[in-house]
């Protein structure tokens, strides 16, 4: 939780920082789930004393943690943990977290606009200061499904998205891996007179879950998963005269 708090503090301190929730924001595993293991409970977050309202505890505590950076959230997606909780407990925890963060719709029966569910194509637009034009950056973000112990399959799966979704940045979660792979595409300028190199990025966005921990045996160790780096990936978007320069920062 310390690293999550540090990232939240960094976002809060930078008024230009924006963030995307990639799903599996909490464990969201209850006693009626086959994955339930009392030994995996973080006693600093939930305990067996709140077994009957674990979901409510997760929702309340996560909403309180994220509320200081609520207005900097541009999208908030679901992961398989949120979808499983909805299936077995008929409670849309992402919807509830967003409402407690102050990001609910004026009509409580309507889904919050920032709740993008499983995947979404988002456009970030920079208005040009001196021209009647704008510079867009297209971001495809989805929780994903890629797992496994080796990185090759994960890289290939997210790179396949480039074949049928047009974007500048492709973000995928789920795997707990944290990496960014750039890809250069060749195109032309609008007049078709000059060859232009356009760099796009694919990424797995990381996790705050420690794979292996001292004095604790969790499901990751039992399944034989290798250690992974914790934290998030970051991108710096810098608008220039005719484009937005994108720089990937793997860390945080």
- Provide the mean pLDDT of the chain: 85
pLDDT at 250 over 80: no
* pLDDT reported for residue 38: 66
- Lowest-confidence segment of 110-119, 124-133, 195-204 by average pLDDT: 124-133
- Output the six-digit token pair for 131: 């021209």
Concatenated DSSP letters of 143-179: -----SSSHHHHHHHHHHGGGT---SEEEE-SS--EE
pLDDT at 48 over 60: no
Distance between CA atoms of 155 and 233, rounded to whole angstroms?
Answer: 15
* pLDDT reported for residue 94: 95
Distance between CA atoms of 112 and 35, rounded to whole angstroms?
Answer: 29
Distances (CA, A) of 101 to 65, 112, 195: 9, 11, 46
Contact 116, 76 (CB under 8 A): yes
154-161: average pLDDT: 80
pLDDT band at 56 (very low <50, low <70, confident <90, very high): confident
* pLDDT reported for residue 53: 76
Contact 245, 66 (CB under 8 A): no
Torsion from C-alpha of 192, 197, 198, 203, nearest 10 degrees: 160
* pLDDT reported for residue 125: 92
* pLDDT reported for residue 27: 83
* pLDDT reported for residue 124: 94
pLDDT band at 131 (very low <50, low <70, confident <90, very high): low
Which one has a higher pLDDT value, 165 or 227? 165
* pLDDT reported for residue 99: 96
pLDDT at 252 over 60: no
Q: pLDDT for 215-245, tens place per residue? A: 777 767 677 777 778 889 999 999 887 788 8
* pLDDT reported for residue 158: 79
9-25: average pLDDT: 95
* pLDDT reported for residue 33: 74
* DSSP category for residue 216: B
pLDDT at 213 over 80: no
What are the domain boundaries of the chain? 1-115, 118-252
Residue in the structure block whose two tokens are 């034009």: 133
Q: Phi and psi of 97, rounded to 5°?
A: -60, -45
Instruction: Encode 110-138: b = buried (16+ Cβ within 10 Å), e = exposed.
Output: eebebbbbebbebebebeeeeeeeebebb
Contact 65, 8 (CB under 8 A): yes
């Amino acid at each position: 939780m310390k690293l999550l708090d540090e990232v939240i503090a960094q976002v809060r301190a930078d008024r230009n920082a924006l963030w995307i929730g990639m799903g599996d924001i909490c464990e969201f595993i209850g006693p009626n789930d086959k994955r339930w293991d009392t030994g995996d409970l973080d006693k600093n977050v939930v305990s067996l004393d709140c077994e009957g309202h674990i979901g409510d505890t997760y929702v309340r505590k996560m909403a309180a943690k994220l509320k200081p950076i609520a207005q900097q959230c541009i999208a908030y997606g679901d992961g398989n943990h949120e979808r499983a909780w909805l299936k077995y407990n008929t409670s849309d925890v992402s919807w509830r977290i967003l409402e407690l963060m102050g990001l609910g719709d004026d009509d409580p029966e309507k889904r919050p606009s920032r709740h993008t569910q499983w995947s979404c194509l988002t456009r970030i637009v920079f208005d040009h200061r001196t021209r009647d034009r704008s510079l867009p950056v297209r971001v495809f973000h989805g929780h994903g499904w890629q797992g496994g112990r080796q990185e090759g399959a994960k890289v290939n799966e997210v790179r396949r998205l480039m074949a049928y979704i047009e974007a500048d940045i492709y973000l995928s979660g789920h795997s707990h891996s944290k990496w960014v792979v750039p890809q250069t595409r060749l195109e032309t300028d609008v007049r078709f007179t000059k060859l232009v190199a356009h760099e796009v990025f694919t990424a797995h966005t990381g996790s705050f879950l420690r794979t292996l921990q001292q004095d604790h045996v969790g499901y990751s160790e039992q399944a034989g998963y290798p250690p992974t780096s914790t934290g998030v990936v970051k991108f710096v978007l810098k608008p220039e005269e005719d484009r937005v320069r994108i720089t990937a920062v793997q860390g945080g």
